Amino acid sequence: MSSLSPKFSRRELMAGAAGAAALTALSGNLIPAAQAKAPLLGASRPTHYRFKLGEFEITTIYDGALAIPKVYPIFGKNQKIEDVKAYLIQNNLPTDKMTISFTPVIVNTGKEVVMFDSGYGEERRAKGAGKAATALATAGFTPDQIDIIVITHCHPDHVSGLMENGKAVFPNARYVAGDVEYNFWSKKDLLESSNKSMVRRAQAVQNNVVPLAEKIEFIKPGADVVTGITSVKAFGHTPGHMCFHIESAGKRFLIFADVTNHYVVSLAKPDWHCVFDMDAEAAVVTRKKILDMIAADKIPSAGYHMPFPAVGYVEKRGAGYRWVPASYQLDL
């Protein structure tokens, strides 16, 4: 292989592989002539990841993903389409489609089991999301073990998994939500909006959050959910969107929810608008502030729409950032 130039052809490569196979055969390592037959099983992936953080245990749960038949103008709406496409190609990403995945996080403090967001529930199950309850069981939890559900914000991919067939999915849970966020989304007049996606989102809140209102504790940024879990102001994506800082025995972690919605574009190009951000400019300011903090403090973090298991680090790079998926750092 060493004689091949860096621009070797597919033919040269295949010839090389055939030569290597012949050498293997000559060395006595004979490959059986008949290969065993087994049915193709379809695509598959792990659905949970668990690690220790100080005295706490953190588990990320795969709720599934949706296929979306475009990238622009969802990302880079304030840029030229050619520039967005060129950047995607440079990063080995298709320009005309993508998937967006959903990852609730469970923090077991040893005293209480706290779940952050609930997945898409029935609303998008036929399209590949809403599988958090199944992944929860595989991860060793039953719905009645969840003591507290923290709502980072009220978009349907975060709250529609709270109810199933009109019943609460987590029978023993109490809930925590930002007061600004809930006050915005629970207004009934949003259902009269001329914006169809606003109506769909507001309806999801009426169906899945409002019926639980008596069990919700409404908090402001900077408040503790329980000892070691503190809300962090991150308004912009939605009017009251919040992140959550986790700390146990000196170890820190940040659940940054929807501060970023794409693992390459949102980080490398933090100024590019994302149509999921309700106040795009405020979201840019928040994105830079939160990513600066994660990068400067070198703390591990989880992002709801980062590729599963959605746990990693943020590095500062030029005018932007880079998502670095965790490997073994949290397993040691």
Binding residues for Zn ion (CB under 5 A): 155, 157, 258
CB 270, min distance to Zn ion, A = 17
Q: How far is the CB of 173 from Zn ion (least distance, A)?
A: 20
Report, in Å, the least distance between residue 297 CB and Zn ion: 24
Select 108 or 266, whichever has its Cβ closest to Zn ion: 266
Q: State in angstroms the smallest separation of the CB of 185 from Zn ion.
A: 14
Cβ at position 234, least distance to Zn ion in Å: 13
Q: Which is nearer to Zn ion, 157 or 277 (CB)?
A: 157
Tokens of 64: 């599934």
Contact indicator for 157, 102 with CB cutoff of 8 Å: yes
CB of 155 to Zn ion, least distance (A): 5
CA angle (62, 91, 293) in 5-degree steps: 65
Question: For residues 125 and 155, which CB has a smaller minimum distance to Zn ion in the complex?
Answer: 155
- Closest-CA residue to 133 (of 109, 165, 155, 111): 165
* Local structure of 46: helix, strand or coil: coil
Please give the sequence-ordered ranges of beta strands (E in DSSP) within 198-294, or none if there are none: 216-219, 224-226, 229-233, 242-248, 251-257
Listed residue (59, 77, 75) closest to 116, CA to CA:
59
The residue among 56 and 244 lying less far from Zn ion, judged by its C-beta, is 244
The minimum distance between CB 276 and Zn ion, in angstroms, equals 7
DSSP string, 66-113: EEES--TTTB-TTS-HHHHHHHHHHTT--SS-EEEEE--EEEE-SS-E
302 with 105: CB under 8 angstroms? yes
Indicate the residue type of 100: I
Nearer to Zn ion by C-beta: 119 or 228? 119
Q: What is the largest CA-CA distance in the chain?
A: 77
Alpha carbons 309 and 103: distance in angstroms, whole number: 8
